[in-house]
Chains A and B, each alone.
Chain A
């Protein structure tokens, strides 16, 4: 059925609004701050047959935009083997190898029926606070199998033809350290799906099923066309970029992520064949997650492309089975965030080589999942779990943003007053980190320093981070940012973990502190071309030290902070001569 272009544009807006409203419902009613504050969740509308993403909410976690289609497909396949999909069913699962990310992300999938016939699926994903496993909060840097990371639930029915299955919830609750939080989040996701179904029916009643179905097909075709037009504007040929993960938390050797990016007319090939094989520790990811991460990177660079399966149609992926980027069960995947951040970094670096104008330097590149866990005097367990921020990369238009969120997420950080009110901790510092940004003609954004003191008798500390050995690179001649640095205090003084930014269960006691110093973003363009006035301003504000001004930017300053023009010129001309 042909859809006129105006109806198409209008329906696109209406469908997006439904997905957005599902996002908003979960954010407001979720229990754990990772969903409520960090928005580590997503909702969308998916194809009845293929599971492909038709429409996705704008406010959910960007990485889920690409990955949810695989999740819905997993349910479609499971249902085909077990009696089919029925009106009133809701499926639930967290299997990371079958359309998932990591075990913390629980997916609910609900079919929408019209006159007894399946029209589409709605799905909700949210990051639960604790799903069992060896480590509270589930970021277990020492995991060598997924069984150490948490419970693994394949697609099962939470509602069977409208009937709620309390037994399923009982199983889930029994496997979590925080069953109340789990219960609250699960209810929030059910609320979101129920609302989505109601809105979907209202829309279908307004416009007719055939019109909406036709619109969904047409939107996909147009997304593909749009992506092809974007690709066709890039120069032809192949460029390569490589970047590294520090280690997998088990074996202390770096892991390579390599991309050979080919532009061939209006098609793009993303070849990851030169990347490391699957590793022992939890930085492996499934193929669907790799594809989703590439989508996120491309959308950051070419902002216009819609959140729709059509976008990936002109992109060919070459990812070796059994490699770090296409892993199978039971290899651990809990730290998937670190690997997808690195994937985004290599895409940014490769694109900067062929299209410097829209490109950005790498952002801080690590999620820094830090948890503190212990018991209060009355025996109650507490788990403080949060992600921390860093700088964004510089770009042709200006310096990077200070203290931003990760490219895969739109998460905000919980207020430190909320954390102090909820957990027995005190922050002793919450500040920008000088010299953490990559130098460049435009400078990266600054990372941060967070220092936390324990107020209870004792606690165990877990960290899952990266960029402790390989700093976020700059692009187009810009410099790298500072390394991630974590240190902790014990009776005999300050220490750093042997795996740099990964650590399991270190015990600290009352009055001892943790200190996390995060990277900034990479620089863009040669630092020696940066306006000396801008460098002097950065020094005056304390963003850049005088030493860095001289060594990295070749700008000499007088005692009062003003530019020493003669020495600056000599520093910079010597550079030119070299």
Chain B
């Protein structure tokens, strides 16, 4: 073996595949950016690695954030899937929770991923208390399974009503399916999610089955391709919860990759920020059509219990909570019939994109406002697709669509567009911070992706954030996240008992048994951990309520007691709502367990610039920038050449290949010991 031991993170996005390579033998870091290969992402994946690594035998671990699952869901390109379900309930998937996509306008539509003809019923029934009213008939299941196979289904989901309370019928049915239809793509709903609420469980399990053939075959190709190059290490896949799982687990539970890509970005942001001394951050990812934010408090990213990938496509597994609003670079600005300025949610996307791209759009966008106000260098567009941007066209569009109807000068109109876009982004930040009871003054904004760093200054001012932290390589953040993510497995079990009627000690033992099983899955992945943590939470509520409160619980050597549970619930309830409700019985709905294998920390000091130069030496010129109602002469700096400790007062523009950073007037930027740029109020 030669001197190198590579750990490689690969994030495959819609346009580019980003590769982040750490050589653990000497701590060296290299990155690569190659075009993504549509159709078979594994090609671009392997090419990206090969552009920097000659001997694949020197790679120990490859960690992958993938959008294959997400795209298959959004584009409805999963496998033909069948559902075998309880008699009387074939339409649960299509009936959803009796909702509609938008409050106003009754023009919604929904096409389930499984056609009605592929949803078949068998006579069986379990009651809510777990008793079996009617045992499943394996022969009937076998007949239905065969029919689905003959009809051309590639995957199947078995889902029975009240399976969360007792899954005997469901397990026997799954065996019956396998006995006549040897098929790796059989999903049992309670194996994915043994939690009460039939639609959410069925939807999650169905999407798992729907994704399994697509994601598995992709991961197979990836494995084969890497092996052919001489790779003999481990492949890990990033889950939506921000932890990684083994490639075999990913093939079994592909629905856990629904938000794999964005989760990796948040994890990287968390680690970079922690190393720099920021435990509380709000990550901001600005794309062409949307602005995604997530909250990291005390070094931990907030998790959501479920999300909808699209209307009616509900996935209920823990995921990094990402709040998305329709305000991206391509968001279109317009004046409505009441004479009020609007930005988004309509978007020109990246094709045709902003007016300045010259690809056919004539309505002004957020990016056009940035171009007109001098914040984007028209001669150096990010992404490298275009040679230059058309400022005059952007000006004309803002003039006719915004400035004229509002009676403003073009610059003022452009600034108004940015102010409103910033206000929308600020609203999203407020939503994830203030509404959850956090004080924004204790948080720093952390932009990653291409566009966010133009707006972070404004966010500091608008929301009252303490500062902003711009990582050294915002464009490859997600790939870096792959390398630093921990391994994590979550599981849930519905209990649905009153606290007063519950054997607390037995509940504690059941939780520990499950935790031990989950830990064994971690152990079998062949990955080394610096530590293994266990988190236990109960979902609890007062009798009569339907929404639960998450109640963190410590389980030690002693038996769990009802008093301990009550105290934990009251503490959690008080912090959520302020007032307790005396005299009302409490119910334990579910328990949730997360087992986290901590992977060795990457020393973020590796990013520190070596031999940088003081600010004046990095200044390449000036550009006129419009801000706060006036033109300023702003200095332009080569960001990556700045030395540790370099300070630049706004207004200034810092340029690098994958982003432009705007330091607003009144703010100051400083390079920290890890190569990050910290922007804060001057003085």
Contacts and interface: CB of A to CB of B under 8 A. Distances in A.
Interface in B559-578: 576-578
A237 interface: no
Interface stretch (B18-26, B174-182, B193-201, B517-525): B193-201
Nearest to A404: B100
Contacts of A274: none
A566 interface: no
A304 interface: yes
A490 B336 CA distance: 59
Interface stretch (A74-82, A319-327, A423-431): A423-431
Contacts of B577: 25, 28-29, 187-188, 191
A9 B127 contact: no
B128 A420 contact: yes
A255 to B, nearest CB: 24
B647 to A, nearest CB: 30
A187 B431 contact: no
Nearest to A183: B581
B339 interface: yes
Interface stretch (B107-115, B619-627, B664-672): B107-115
Contacts of B200: 415
Contacts of A400: 106
Given A304-B336, A542-B116, 19 more contacts: A5-B406, A5-B416, A6-B341, A6-B420, A13-B427, A29-B547, A37-B546, A183-B581, A183-B584, A225-B338, A303-B102, A392-B106, A404-B99, A405-B99, A415-B97, A415-B197, A417-B198, A420-B162, A431-B91
Contacts of B95: 389, 402-403, 430-432, 448
Interface string A401-426: 11111010011111111101100001
B599 interface: no
A418 B546 contact: yes
A17 interface: yes
B98 interface: yes
25 contacts: A8-B340, A9-B420, A10-B419, A10-B420, A13-B427, A14-B423, A31-B545, A180-B583, A181-B544, A191-B577, A226-B338, A303-B104, A397-B107, A399-B109, A403-B91, A403-B98, A404-B98, A405-B98, A410-B103, A413-B97, A417-B162, A428-B88, A448-B91, A451-B88, A541-B116
The 8 A-B residue pairs with the shortest CB-CB distance in the complex, in nearest-first order: A226-B338, A222-B338, A389-B98, A413-B98, A429-B88, A412-B97, A420-B128, A229-B337
Chain A interface size band reads 35 or more
Contacts of B545: 29-31, 36, 184
B124 to A, nearest CB: 13
B104 A431 contact: no
Contacts of B444: none
Contact of A33 (B90, B435, B546, B578): B546
A448 B125 CA distance: 21
Contacts of A181: 544
A181 B543 CA distance: 9
Contacts of B342: 9
B547 A27 contact: yes
Contacts of A25: 577
A434 to B, nearest CB: 10
Contact of A402 (B105, B110, B115, B341): B110
A432 B544 contact: no
A188 to B, nearest CB: 8
Given A413-B97, A421-B496, A184 B110 contact: no
A299 B435 CA distance: 28
A395 B546 contact: no
Interface of B: 88-92, 94-100, 102-110, 115-117, 125, 127-128, 133, 161-162, 164, 196-200, 336-342, 406, 416, 419-420, 423-424, 427, 430-431, 435, 496, 542-547, 576-579, 581, 583-584
Contacts of A415: 97, 196-200
Contact of A223 (B338, B430, B576, B578): B338
A230 interface: yes
B92, B98, B339, B542 — most chain A CB neighbours (10 Å):
B98
Interface in A269-292: none
A410 B427 CA distance: 23
A28 B200 CA distance: 18
B492 to A, nearest CB: 14
A9, A184, A398, A432 — most chain B CB neighbours (10 Å):
A9
A430 B87 CA distance: 10
B546 to A, nearest CB: 4
Nearest to B96: A403
Interface string A9-48: 1101110010001001101111111001100000000000
A46 to B, nearest CB: 20
A122 interface: no
B197 A418 contact: yes
A236 B659 CA distance: 54
A392 B102 CA distance: 13
Interface in A173-202: 178, 180-181, 183-184, 187-188, 190-191, 194
B338 A401 contact: no
Interface in A414-462: 414-418, 420-421, 426-432, 448, 451, 455
Interface in A294-328: 299-301, 303-304, 306
A398 B106 contact: no
Given A191-B578, A430-B91, A222 B547 contact: no
B336 A187 contact: no
B196 A62 contact: no
B581 A184 contact: yes
B247 to A, nearest CB: 34
Nearest to B580: A187
Contact of B542 (A31, A194, A306, A541): A31
A353 interface: no
A191 to B, nearest CB: 6
A9 B422 CA distance: 12
A140 interface: no
B539 to A, nearest CB: 13
Contacts of A412: 97-99
Nearest to A409: B103
Contacts of A455: 127
Contacts of B128: 417, 420-421
B107 A395 contact: yes
Contacts of B91: 403, 430-432, 448
A448 B104 CA distance: 22
A155 interface: no
A301 B104 CA distance: 8
B542 A184 contact: yes
A363 interface: yes
Nearest to A13: B427
A58 interface: yes
A416 B96 CA distance: 11
Contact of A62 (B104, B336, B435): B104
A171 interface: no
Contact of A363 (B88, B106, B198, B430): B106
Contacts of A349: none
Contacts of A21: 435
A300 B104 contact: yes
A6 B547 contact: no
Contact of B105 (A28, A303, A431, A542): A303
Contacts of B427: 13-14, 17
Contact of A541 (B115, B338, B576): B115
Nearest to B92: A430
A187 B106 contact: no
A17 B197 contact: no
A6 B340 contact: no
Contacts of A194: 578
A360 interface: yes
Nearest to A221: B338
Nearest to A390: B98
A393 interface: yes
Given A304-B336, A420-B128, A401 B423 contact: no
